[in-house]
Amino acid sequence: MSTIAQKILFFRDLRGLSQTELSEKSGVPQSSISKIETGQLKNPGGITLQKLAAALGVSVAEMLNDSDPAATDQTA
């Protein structure tokens, strides 16, 4: 089972983006991305997830799916 934090980190790394670059692409503050990835913010809001998913080129459903992101990513 993968957490939202693990998925965001996986897709961000896969795209070769830093937290700052993802922040710039998504409009989500870098500090929020850091808090999500470190588990300090466990339940980011729907709008935040939509922005991050769009910037990462994945659907919100992929972010919320319990499966391993490596198994579901079509761009890898």
pLDDT tens figures, 15-59: 999 999 999 999 999 999 999 999 999 899 999 999 999 999 999
- In this prediction the pTM is 0.84
Q: What is the mean pLDDT of residues 63-74?
A: 66
What count of other Cβ atoms lies within 10 Å of the Cβ of residue 66?
8
Confidence of residue 76 (pLDDT cuts 50, 70, 90): very low
What number of H helices and E strands is found in the chain? 6, 0
4-57: CATH homologous superfamily? lambda repressor-like DNA-binding domains (1.10.260.40)
CA distances from 54 to 16, 40, 57 (A): 15, 22, 5
